[in-house]
């Protein structure tokens, strides 16, 4: 019985990590049953990805901001503003769509630089600056659109939000998506094995082999299942590719780049970071520039997907992104959080939204339930922390 | 002979691993000014916290007698009800409330659950007059200087019908005028029959106002002197404060001095909140390769301020003076420039300023020199980082199962080794170590001393700031004394004794008034 007790103890110590996954699975299974299998139907999985992509994209930037101990309330308005500018540029100024997308990202960077300046160099708390930004850019979006909606974007542009990678074959399982799924799985296995070998080499304490395998099998299973489901519908959504690139790239940035390390250091102890020679103001400034660009990407994806630039677009997105980050285990005080965590947090919100919509839950109740889930996730976190300190 | 108002008998107080107080006895006469003096960490503040109920009855041994009756204070409220009020070194005023509001904070003048503002401001005005403050009671605390804030604290104490007033280092943060005024006020209060207990190590002050002085060292009472009697000289007090044996708690070290690495000339720093106050005043210091230089100074002398202002202007405003590196003038106005010029500073408060406690050891060690660990993609090579951290773990003897353990869970000594590792990896030429052994047990201290010697042997210049004189005497080749922001002496090892240093550490600036 000894190995079993050890195993249970080990799982206990990993509760936070597992808890997030278990929560996601429980929610998916719950909706799979209550919706009579609609939740995991190929078309719904595809929709789930497309409809939540912008929240997940925003969560990537938001988790970095929150790790540094700040917050950004303006991203929803920035999404609307970017959408408005995209509409104006393409339909009124007739700028070619690739150029327009590029300008959108530049505008996002400028928006971020504006807010970053006040936060980093002027010393106004991010909460205030971005609260102001929330109003400013909502207003700017409405002004740009003249309170009209702009629709009818070029088909190539719309593909960014709602298109799929070119499909081979018209029936059965789309091969490219399956290939991507398999390649991704192989990459995950290779990376995990390499990490494990390195840890062995440096004599680092490592997780037990059974847990290593269980985790890998679970992860690959997840990737292949999603690939399989997508393949049996229209193939790989382009937003999924964008999201995948962002997640991988920013995970590397946060875990391995000097910039990422500086963000964790600033969030963990601002004074110590400054006294270690980190240019804290510069890092904070760049962080918000980065957030602006990511908000612009989300704005482009959202506008393209909807084929519509409206003055009320993106309302409340900031709250979904912030919720995703905190459900994903980030600390309110900064210094703690991961991009994969934020993505899972975003998926939990996404599945909740999607499932409740399918079930026809009243939107008022949807808000109520989402609020309680956020509270429960953070309460679980705090409880967990207190327990581990108590020991 | 006046009556004894307060007596503390055989007080002992133990913290985990440390005996802070052992059998301390003290008796205070009614209407006297009684000074308690001793080195930093001697146990003065602990004793006062026992008296005022911060450490409630039952958490210490011994008894407290008030007018001959034993008392058991369970909290500050109990001691205040008995007329004992303590004014801490760090003032406990709420900056954005008015003077009157602060005076009656927690003790509000009310009528039917609502605050009676007229009564509050009227009574506050009367109290202010008593302490010699002419400010309007509705002035906010932020708008008056530290000296006046100190007086507001005393007015607050008077509002509580104080019998025994305890002042912890009351003049440490004050300029000369404010100090003189405060001492006058204490004399006036004495005439009104209020007993004062003053914790101080400013000997002139003690001579000026105290009737008796009790010296505490290493948590024990050494002696109580009647100040008006023969033999109560400053020298005797100094001897009492420092007179412990400097045993071989330090590794032997023969210095190999090289060229001058760092020289700071005419360094002057002003207080960030009070630009008229010079925290460091025209200081000149230098350190040579292979040399361990000490900076000795009492609390509030400006030791940390001197170091932090040199390290990237991290403290203070209106900084003037010049830093020379190997004789060449260099700029140190940002931390990264200071680091680039080969200067490192390890803080006295490692939890607040030194470490990211929620991150692991390896990342704390690498953070000041991440650029040394990046590959061609500008990504941190985590494996090399681990190797580096493991090297320091071995050479510094950091006791941890692995370098990915969270830093906050290490002991104080091991945390300090992580801070030192961080700076050693940044490979500076001059290291300024501020209180490198604070909060560390004796065994770990010896290890830290060994590390400091090793750094000097590698040809680095080391500046050690410490409030423990024996420590400086044990490890330094040369010691500067600092008093009120000025370098008062540059003492070579041969001449350095605790008494000699203490003279210069307590040397006060010539007063501009009588």
Q: Same structural domain for residues A259 and A338?
A: yes
State pLDDT tens for residues B228-260.
877 777 777 877 877 654 445 788 888 888 899
Q: By CA distance, what is B407's nearest residue in A?
A: A268
Average pLDDT, chain B: 86
Which of A88, A69, A91 is CA-nearest to residue A80? A88
Of residues A169 and B448, more confidently modeled: B448
Range A339-349 average pLDDT:
92
Confidence of residue A106 (pLDDT cuts 50, 70, 90): very high
Range B172-190 average pLDDT:
82
Q: Same structural domain for residues A316 and A374?
A: yes
Instruction: Check pLDDT > 80 for residue A337.
Output: yes
> Distances in Å between the alpha carbon of A71 and those of A60, A63, A329?
13, 9, 15
User: Which residues of chain A have a CB within 8 Å of the CB of B312?
Assistant: 275, 277
CB spacing of A265 vs B368 below 8 angstroms = no
Can you tell me the distance from the alpha carbon of B383 to that of A203, in angstroms, rounded to the nearest whole number?
11
- What SS3 string covers A271-298? HHHHHCCCCHHHHHHHHHHHHHHHHHHH
Q: Same structural domain for residues A267 and A362?
A: yes
Range A351-379 average pLDDT:
88
A295 domain-assigned: yes
Over pLDDT 70: what percentage of chain B?
95
CB spacing of B404 vs A204 below 8 angstroms = yes
A149 domain-assigned: yes
Structure pTM?
A: 0.80
Is A51 exposed, middle or buried, given 0-12, 13-18 or 19+ CB atoms closer than 10 A?
Answer: middle
The reply to whether A390 touches chain B by the CB within 8 Å rule is no
Of residues A98 and B275, more confidently modeled: A98
Q: Same structural domain for residues A151 and A178?
A: no
A8 domain-assigned: no
CB spacing of B383 vs A272 below 8 angstroms = no
Alpha helices, DSSP H, located in chain A: 2-13, 15-34, 42-67, 75-87, 97-116, 126-145, 155-162, 175-201, 209-231, 238-256, 258-268, 270-275, 280-306, 317-327, 339-359, 363-390
The reply to whether B354 touches chain A by the CB within 8 Å rule is yes
The number of angstroms, rounded, from the C-alpha of B200 to the middle of its chain's C-alpha atoms is 12
Distance from CA of B421 to the nearest CA of A (A): 12
State pLDDT tens for residues A53-89.
989 999 999 999 999 999 999 999 999 999 999 999 9
Q: Same structural domain for residues A252 and A296?
A: yes
Per mean pLDDT, which of A164-178, B5-19, B129-143 is the most reliable? B129-143
Confidence of residue A1 (pLDDT cuts 50, 70, 90): very low
Q: Is A117 helix (H, G, I), strand (E, B) or coil?
A: helix
Residue B482: per-residue pLDDT: 92
Range B267-274 average pLDDT:
88
Residue B246: per-residue pLDDT: 44
Which of B301, B302, B308, B303 is CA-nearest to residue B293? B303
Among candidate residues A204, A236, A268, the one where a domain is terminated? A236
Q: By CA distance, what is B365's nearest residue in A?
A: A276
Range B56-79 average pLDDT:
88
Residue A161: per-residue pLDDT: 84
A56 domain-assigned: yes
User: At residue B254, what are phi and psi to the nearest 5 degrees?
Assistant: -105, 120
Instruction: Check pLDDT > 80 for residue A167.
Output: no
Among candidate residues A218, A236, A254, the one where a domain is terminated? A236
Instruction: Check pLDDT > 90 for residue B94.
Output: no
Return the number of other C-beta atoms located less than 10 Å from residue A33's C-beta. Answer: 10
Is there a contact between B420 and B350 (Cβ–Cβ < 8 Å)?
no
Range B23-37 average pLDDT:
90
A10 domain-assigned: no
The secondary structure of residue B43, as a DSSP letter, is S
Residue B419: per-residue pLDDT: 93
Residue B234: per-residue pLDDT: 75
CB spacing of B314 vs A336 below 8 angstroms = no
Instruction: Check pLDDT > 60 for residue B513.
Output: no
Q: Same structural domain for residues A98 and A219?
A: no
Which element (helix H / strand E) includes B130? helix B117-130
Instruction: Check pLDDT > 90 for residue A303.
Output: yes
Residue A388: per-residue pLDDT: 57
Q: Same structural domain for residues A197 and A330?
A: no
Interface test with A, best of B346, B359, B405, B423 (most A CBs within 10 A): B359
Range B265-273 average pLDDT:
91
Range A326-344 average pLDDT:
90
State pLDDT tens for residues B348-393.
888 889 999 989 999 999 999 998 998 888 889 888 898 899 999 9
Residue B40: per-residue pLDDT: 66
Instruction: Check pLDDT > 90 for residue A172.
Output: no
Can you tell me the distance from the alpha carbon of A175 to that of B179, in angstroms, rounded to the nearest whole number?
85
Can you tell me the distance from the alpha carbon of B479 to that of B490, in angstroms, rounded to the nearest whole number?
6
Return the number of other C-beta atoms located less than 10 Å from residue A282's C-beta. Answer: 15
Identity of the residue in A204, A268, A276 whose CB atom sits nearest the CB atom of B358 = A268
The reply to whether A362 touches chain B by the CB within 8 Å rule is no
Average pLDDT, chain A: 88
Number of domains in chain A: 2
> Distances in Å between the alpha carbon of B461 and those of A112, A289, B328, B422?
44, 41, 16, 17
Confidence of residue B16 (pLDDT cuts 50, 70, 90): low
Instruction: Check pLDDT > 60 for residue A145.
Output: yes
A188 domain-assigned: yes
Can you tell me the distance from the alpha carbon of A251 to that of A182, in angstroms, rounded to the nearest whole number?
21
Interface test with A, best of B304, B308, B335, B338 (most A CBs within 10 A): B335
Residue B274: per-residue pLDDT: 79
The reply to whether B357 touches chain A by the CB within 8 Å rule is yes
Identity of the residue in B359, B371, B386 whose CB atom sits nearest the CB atom of A202 = B386
CB spacing of A261 vs B367 below 8 angstroms = yes
Q: By CA distance, what is A265's nearest residue in B?
A: B356
List the domains of chain B with CATH numbers.
Answer: 4-242 (3.40.50.300), 248-342+428-514 (3.40.50.300), 351-427 (no CATH)
Instruction: Check pLDDT > 60 for residue B1.
Output: no
Within 13 Å of residue A350, how many CA atoms lie on the same side as its CB?
Answer: 26
Confidence of residue B294 (pLDDT cuts 50, 70, 90): very high
Give CA angle at B407 (B352, A345), nearest 5°. Answer: 95
Is there a contact between B124 and B100 (Cβ–Cβ < 8 Å)?
yes
Show which of residues 234-273 on chain A sit within 8 Å of chain B, judged by CB atoms.
252, 255-258, 261-262, 264-265, 268-269, 271-273
Identity of the residue in B355, B356, B380 whose CB atom sits nearest the CB atom of A256 = B380
Range B323-331 average pLDDT:
93
Residue B497: per-residue pLDDT: 87
Tokens for A60?
């990537």
Confidence of residue B2 (pLDDT cuts 50, 70, 90): low
Among candidate residues A221, A236, A251, the one where a domain is terminated? A236
Residue with tokens 């005043």: B281
Taking every pair of Cα atoms in chain B, the longest distance, rounded to a whole number of angstroms, is 82
Q: By CA distance, what is B380's nearest residue in A?
A: A256
Is there a contact between A97 and A343 (Cβ–Cβ < 8 Å)?
no
User: Which residues of chain A have a CB within 8 Å of the CB of B386?
Assistant: 202, 204
Instruction: Check pLDDT > 80 for residue B426.
Output: yes
Is there a contact between A126 and A70 (Cβ–Cβ < 8 Å)?
yes
Identity of the residue in B334, B355, B386 whose CB atom sits nearest the CB atom of A269 = B355
Kindly provide the ipTM of the predicted complex, given to two decimals.
Answer: 0.83
Q: Same structural domain for residues A87 and A39?
A: yes
Instruction: Check pLDDT > 90 for residue B269.
Output: yes
Identity of the residue in B312, B339, B382 whose CB atom sits nearest the CB atom of A256 = B382
The reply to whether B423 touches chain A by the CB within 8 Å rule is no
Residue B17: per-residue pLDDT: 57
Tokens for B147?
């000296």
Q: Same structural domain for residues A153 and A278?
A: yes
Distance from CA of A135 to the nearest CA of B (A): 30
Range B44-57 average pLDDT:
87
Q: By CA distance, what is B390's nearest residue in A?
A: A202
Q: Which domain holds residue A61?
A: 28-161+238-381
Identity of the residue in B356, B387, B404 whose CB atom sits nearest the CB atom of A265 = B356
State pLDDT tens for residues A272-291.
999 999 999 999 999 999 99
Identity of the residue in B347, B366, B383 whose CB atom sits nearest the CB atom of A198 = B383
Residue-wise DSSP of B175-201? -HHHHHHHHHHHHHHHHTT-EEEEE--
Q: Same structural domain for residues A290 and A359?
A: yes
Instruction: Check pLDDT > 70 for residue B18.
Output: no
Q: Same structural domain for residues A191 and A229?
A: yes
A12 domain-assigned: no
What are the percentages of helix, strand and coil residues in chain B, rounded to 5?
A: 35, 30, 35
With a CB cutoff of 8 Å and minimum separation 6, the contacts of B267 are B280, B282, B283, B284, B285, B306, B309, B310, B319, B320, B321, B323
Of residues A316 and B514, more confidently modeled: A316
Tokens for B266?
């005419």
Residue-wise DSSP of A206-221? ---HHHHHHHHHHHHH
Range A1-23 average pLDDT:
69
Can you tell me the distance from the alpha carbon of B198 to that of B201, in angstroms, rounded to the nearest whole number?
10
The reply to whether B333 touches chain A by the CB within 8 Å rule is no
CB spacing of B379 vs A257 below 8 angstroms = yes
CB spacing of B336 vs A279 below 8 angstroms = yes
CB spacing of A256 vs B354 below 8 angstroms = no
Residue B112: per-residue pLDDT: 82
Residue A391: per-residue pLDDT: 35
Interface test with A, best of B363, B379, B416 (most A CBs within 10 A): B379
Residue A249: per-residue pLDDT: 94
Distance from CA of A371 to the nearest CA of B (A): 28
With a CB cutoff of 8 Å and minimum separation 6, the contacts of A174 are A167, A168, A230, A231, A232, A234, A235, A236
Confidence of residue B512 (pLDDT cuts 50, 70, 90): very low
Within 13 Å of residue A265, how many CA atoms lie on the same side as its CB?
Answer: 31
User: Which residues of chain B have a CB within 8 Å of the CB of A258?
Assistant: 370-371, 374, 378, 380
Q: Same structural domain for residues A177 and A307?
A: no
Over pLDDT 90: what percentage of chain B?
30
A156 domain-assigned: yes
């Amino acid at each position: 019985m000894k190995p079993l007790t050890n195993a249970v103890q080990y799982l206990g110590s990993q509760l936070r990590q597992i808890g997030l996954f278990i929560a996601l699975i429980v929610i998916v299974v719950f909706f799979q049953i209550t919706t009579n299998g609609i939740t995991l139907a190929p078309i719904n999985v595809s929709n789930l990805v497309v409809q939540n992509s912008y929240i997940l994209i925003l969560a990537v930037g938001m988790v970095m901001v929150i790790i540094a101990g700040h917050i950004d309330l303006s991203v929803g308005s920035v999404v609307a503003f970017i959408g408005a500018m995209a509409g104006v540029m393409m339909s009124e100024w007739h700028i070619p769509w690739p150029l327009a997308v590029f300008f959108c990202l530049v505008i996002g960077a400028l928006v971020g630089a504006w807010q970053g300046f006040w936060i980093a160099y002027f010393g106004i708390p991010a909460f205030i600056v971005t609260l102001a930004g929330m109003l400013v850019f909502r207003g700017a979006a409405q002004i740009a659109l003249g309170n009209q909606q702009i629709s009818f974007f070029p088909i190539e542009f719309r593909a960014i939000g709602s298109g799929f990678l070119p499909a081979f074959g018209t029936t059965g399982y789309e091969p490219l998506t399956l290939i991507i799924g398999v390649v991704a799985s192989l990459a995950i296995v290779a990376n995990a094995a390499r990490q494990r070998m390195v840890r062995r080499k440096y004599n680092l304490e490592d997780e037990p082999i059974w847990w290593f395998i269980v985790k890998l099998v679970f992860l690959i299973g997840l990737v292949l299942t999603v690939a399989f489901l997508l393949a049996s519908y229209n193939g790989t959504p382009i937003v999924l590719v964008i999201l995948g690139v962002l997640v991988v790239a920013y995970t590397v940035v946060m875990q391995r780049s000097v910039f990422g390390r500086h963000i964790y250091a600033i969030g963990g102890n601002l004074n110590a970071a400054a006294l270690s020679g980190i240019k804290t103001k510069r890092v904070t400034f760049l962080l918000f520039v980065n957030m602006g660009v990511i908000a612009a990407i989300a704005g482009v994806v959202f506008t393209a997907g909807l084929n519509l630039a409206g003055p009320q677009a993106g309302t409340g997105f900031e709250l979904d992104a912030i919720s995703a980050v905190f459900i994903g285990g980030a600390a309110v005080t900064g210094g703690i959080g991961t991009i994969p965590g934020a993505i899972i947090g975003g998926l939990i919100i996404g599945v909740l939204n999607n499932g409740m919509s399918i079930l026809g839950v009243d939107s008022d109740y949807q808000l109520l339930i989402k609020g309680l889930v956020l509270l429960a996730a953070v309460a679980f976190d705090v409880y967990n922390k207190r327990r581990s300190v108590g020991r | 002979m006046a009556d004894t108002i307060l007596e503390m008998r055989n007080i002992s107080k133990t913290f985990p691993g440390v005996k802070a107080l052992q059998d301390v006895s003290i008796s205070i006469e009614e209407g006297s000014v009684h000074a308690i003096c001793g080195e930093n960490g001697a146990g003065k503040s602990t004793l006062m916290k026992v008296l005022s109920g911060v450490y409630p009855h039952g958490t210490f041994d011994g008894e407290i007698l008030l007018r001959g009756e034993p008392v058991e204070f369970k909290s500050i409220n109990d001691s205040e009800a008995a007329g004992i009020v303590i004014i801490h070194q760090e003032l406990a005023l709420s900056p954005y409330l008015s003077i009157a509001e602060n005076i009656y904070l927690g003790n509000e003048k009310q009528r039917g659950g609502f605050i009676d503002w007229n009564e509050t401001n009227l009574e506050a005005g009367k109290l202010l007059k008593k302490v010699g403050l002419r400010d309007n009671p509705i002035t906010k605390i932020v708008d008056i200087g530290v000296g006046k804030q100190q007086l507001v604290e005393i007015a607050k104490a008077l509002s509580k019908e104080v019998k025994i007033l305890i002042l912890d280092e009351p003049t440490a943060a004050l300029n000369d005028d404010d100090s003189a005024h405060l001492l006058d006020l204490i004399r006036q209060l004495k005439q009104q029959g209020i007993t004062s207990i003053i914790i101080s190590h400013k000997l002139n002050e003690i001579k000026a106002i105290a009737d008796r002085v009790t010296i505490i060292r290493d948590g024990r009472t050494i002696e109580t002197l009647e100040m008006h009697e023969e033999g109560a000289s400053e020298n005797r007090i100094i001897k009492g404060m420092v007179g412990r044996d400097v045993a071989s708690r330090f590794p032997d070290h023969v210095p190999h001095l090289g060229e001058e690495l760092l020289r700071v000339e005419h360094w002057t720093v002003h207080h960030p909140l009070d630009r008229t106050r010079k925290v460091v005043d025209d200081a000149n210091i230098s350190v040579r390769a292979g040399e361990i230089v000490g900076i000795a100074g009492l609390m509030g002398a400006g030791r940390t301020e001197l170091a932090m202002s040199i390290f990237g202007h991290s403290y203070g405003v209106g900084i003037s003076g010049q830093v020379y590196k190997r004789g060449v003038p260099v700029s140190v106005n940002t931390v990264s420039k200071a680091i680039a010029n080969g200067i490192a500073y390890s803080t006295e408060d490692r939890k607040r300023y030194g470490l990211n406690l929620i991150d692991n050891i390896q990342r704390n060690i690498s953070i000041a020199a991440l650029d040394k660990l990046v590959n061609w993609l500008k990504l941190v090579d985590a494996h090399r980082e681990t190797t580096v951290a493991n090297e320091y773990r071995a050479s510094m003897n950091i006791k941890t199962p692995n370098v990915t353990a969270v830093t906050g869970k290490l002991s104080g000594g091991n945390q300090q080794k992580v801070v030192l590792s961080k700076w050693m990896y940044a490979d500076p030429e001059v290291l300024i170590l501020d209180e490198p052994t604070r909060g560390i047990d004796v065994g770990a201290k010896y290890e830290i001393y060994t590390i400091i010697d090793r750094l000097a042997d590698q040809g680095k210049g080391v500046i050690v700031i410490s409030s423990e004189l024996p420590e400086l005497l044990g490890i330094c080749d040369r010691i500067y004394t600092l008093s009120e922001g000025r370098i008062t002496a540059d003492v070579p090892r041969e001449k350095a004794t605790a008494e000699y240093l203490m003279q210069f550490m307590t040397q006060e600036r010539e007063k501009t008034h009588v």
